[in-house]
Each structure stands twice: as C-alpha cells, then as structure tokens.
Amino acid sequence: MKPENAIEVKDVTKKFKVYLDKGSQLKERLLFHERNRYEERWVLKGISFEVKKGEAIGLIGHNGCGKSTTLKLLTRIIYPDAGSIEMRGRVSSLIELGAGFHPDMSGRENIYTNAAIFGLTKKEIDARMDDIIAFSELEEFLDNPVRTYSSGMYMRLAFSVAINVDADILLIDEILAVGDTNFQAKCFNKLREIKAQGTTIVIVSHSLGQIEQICERSIWIHDGQIRAEGSPRDVHPEYLSFMGEKRQEIAEKEKERQEEKEQKKHHEEAEEKKVSPEELEKTKQDGRWGNGHARIQSVKLYAENGQEQNVFATGSLVMVKVAYELKETVKDAVFGIGVFRSDGVQCYGTNTRIDQLEEFNLTKSGTMCLSLDHVNLLPGEYWLDIAIESEVGIPVDYYRQAAKVEFYSQIGDVGIARIDHKWKLPE
C-alpha cells in the first residue's frame, strides 16, 4: 500500500445471488422442484480507486449502480468475490441508519456498545460521552430505549457516535438526507471540521451540492464500473447531462404508454357509446376548446442544439414549436402559452399580443416557434398550455397540457423559479 494512501481498492468484483420466486402457496411449492433456483447478479464488475489520507471523495451514480455495495465492502460488512481492498487506520461508518443499535437498550447503553464496535475501550468511551451526548442533543431521551426514538433521533445518535470515535476513515451513506435541516447543517459543519483535522472521508450521496462542498473528488459508478472520476465540478455536469438523457428516454416511454392507454380508453368509450372513434374525438372537449378554425397538431420542444427533448437543465433555452392545421382563415391571430407546475400553479403566461407583436392573419397551415431563452424553472414537472385566439379574444384552439416538460438542476435552491441574484458580503 502506498504510504500516502488511506484506501486502495483493486479490481473489486461483487455478485449477489438473487433467488427466483418459488411461489408462496403449498401447492406451488410442492410443484416446484427447483427450490433453490437463483441467478447471479454482478453488481461490481471490476472497480479500482485510491483515496489519499485526508482526502474526501464522493461516490455518485443512479439508483442501484453499486455505491452502497462499495461502501459496505469498505466497512467489511460484506466481502468481494475478487480483487482486494486495503485500508489504513481506524474506520468509522454511518451506513445503515441505526444498524448496530439494540432497540431495547437505552440511548446511553447503545452509545457504549456502538462505540465499542468501532474499537473504543470503556475508558475511551467515558471520556467522549459528554461530547457524544451534547452533539446528539438527546440528553432528555438518553435513558429511554431507542425503539421509542424517531428516525431523526436514531440518526442523531448514530452520527454523534460515528464522529466521536476518532476515526481515520469515515464512511457515510446518504446520511445527510435524514434529520431536520438544523441538524443536517450541524452535521455538515462537523464533517468539514473532521476533514480539516485530516480524516479521510468517503460519502455516498445523491446530493451533488453536498459532495461539491466537502469532496475534492467524485467517482461516478455506472453499471458496476467507474465511468468517470475527477473534480466534482468536472464530473457532475457530465453525470447530470447523462441522467437528463436517461430521464428523457423514460419520459418518452411514459408518453408512449400514456398515449396507448388514452387510445385504448378512447376506443372503449366509442364502442360503449356506439359511435366511431373519430366522431367521439369531435365531440370531446376535455381540456380543449375553441371554434376549430385552426387546430394545434403538435407541440414539440427542442434544445439549443436542435435536439427534440422534454427534459432540460434549469436555465436552458427551450424552443417550442407549435404545428397547426388551418380549416378557415384566422384573422388577427394571437398565439399564447401558459406554463403550469404539475400541481397546477401557474408559473408564467404570455401571448403575442401582450408581447406587442404585430397582429397577423393565419391563411395556411404552418408552425409557430417560440424561443424561451433562459427557463429558470426549478426541478420538477411542468405542463405547457398552448392557445390560438382570433379577433378580440375568440378562442380558436385552446390546448390544455399540450406538452410536458421536466427540469433538473444540481443547485439546491428552492421555490418555483430561480431569480438571478448577486450577494454582497459585508466588508
């Protein structure tokens, strides 16, 4: 092991056995001869990385990519099928909330057993007891059995023990996601303090912002292998754009599924009412109204590079293209857009009249393009309503929820939309 390293992971592979369903009824069980049928799932397919003493690294990746498995291997809760893991120093971990706590024992008794697991003697624990209790802020509950604790209280106790055992290496799995915001902030500050004292830290988190604030390096695990590794500022944008594309694929599949479901429902309704699906379509006014002189055929969204998509990073340019078919000339046409959050809150709305564009007549079918230059909507799902009106506000085609759009961001600000801002710190 290199002298400057605290952790060396070399070509580690790990597989799990996943037992196939054997059937729960007696008859099914009797009929199944292959009782122990299982398949092997390779979760890690050869992972190598090194962590220097005093360095903090973040493990990122989509659900199920193998982050927690990597951390459990480092804690030696489980062992690799091949490869090697070497670590130097005392290891402390916060992996599963309250794992290692005995529910019937009091908080105080659990501090003793838990700290002993991390290798402390009774004398050492006694010396740290006050610090552990003070950090947990659980003085009044300390003699109650931990089964009466809330999950937040569990986490306070577990965190307080884990950071007070003078570990050389601290392994944390998504722990900062639990607890109230005050305690989260306190843990976060404590982690920085511990890091400044030279502790090596490995964090698994979906909060890229937290990783950026604590870690020098991010390791992106994908499909059981390391896909990228480097400064969080370099790796995270790459990861986010990859996840954006994935979400786009999922959104498209979901859209197809919804369309198929709608079509099936539509046919069933038509059959029930003994009319043709086309006739039913004509009479149906759900979320759509107007005199029908023009009809919106499609509303598609495009990114700056011209690619059609429905998932965007907050702050991106979104190009909206509205294709319409004309049945009759529409005089003094006005195009409008409304942006609604999925819970119905209107986030924005405008039209060509509000924007003081010259009035125009629609004389043939075509496409209207609207460029939304910096859409600062915060992460979530939104719907676009699109409308065509004619002279003095007569609705021609109002199309509710004409397109769905999703935004993502790695910044943790909250609300509906990001407001451009600048801070000026006191001199």
Ligand X SMILES: Nc1ncnc2c1ncn2[C@@H]1O[C@H](COP(=O)(O)OP(=O)(O)OP(=O)(O)O)[C@@H](O)[C@H]1O
What residue ranges bind ligand X (CB under 6 A)? 16, 18, 41, 43, 61, 63-69
CA 206/CA 65 separation, integer angstroms: 12
Q: How far is the CB of 204 from ligand X (least distance, A)?
A: 6
Q: How far is the CB of 393 from ligand X (least distance, A)?
A: 50
Q: How far is the CB of 16 from ligand X (least distance, A)?
A: 3
Report yes or no: 354 and 295 within 8 Å, Cβ to Cβ: no
Is the CB of 39 or the CB of 86 nearer to ligand X?
A: 39
Q: How far is the CB of 239 from ligand X (least distance, A)?
A: 13
Is the CB of 89 or the CB of 100 nearer to ligand X?
A: 100
User: With b meaning 16 or more CB within 10 Å and e meaning fewer, what string describes 215-242?
Assistant: bebbbbbeebebbbeeebeebbeebbee
Give 235-256 as a 3 state SS string.
HHHHHHHHHHHHHHHHHHHHHH
Report yes or no: 294 and 362 within 8 Å, Cβ to Cβ: yes
CA 389/CA 368 separation, integer angstroms: 13
> 170 phi and psi, to 5 degrees?
-120, 125
CA 109/CA 164 separation, integer angstroms: 16
Is the CB of 16 or the CB of 360 nearer to ligand X?
A: 16
Q: How far is the CB of 46 from ligand X (least distance, A)?
A: 15
Is the CB of 13 or the CB of 351 nearer to ligand X?
A: 13
CA 238/CA 243 separation, integer angstroms: 9
Is the CB of 64 or the CB of 198 nearer to ligand X?
A: 64
Report yes or no: 212 and 232 within 8 Å, Cβ to Cβ: yes
Is the CB of 64 or the CB of 287 nearer to ligand X?
A: 64
Q: How far is the CB of 158 from ligand X (least distance, A)?
A: 17
Report yes or no: 276 and 270 within 8 Å, Cβ to Cβ: yes
Q: How far is the CB of 61 from ligand X (least distance, A)?
A: 5
CA 188/CA 231 separation, integer angstroms: 20
Is the CB of 66 or the CB of 80 nearer to ligand X?
A: 66
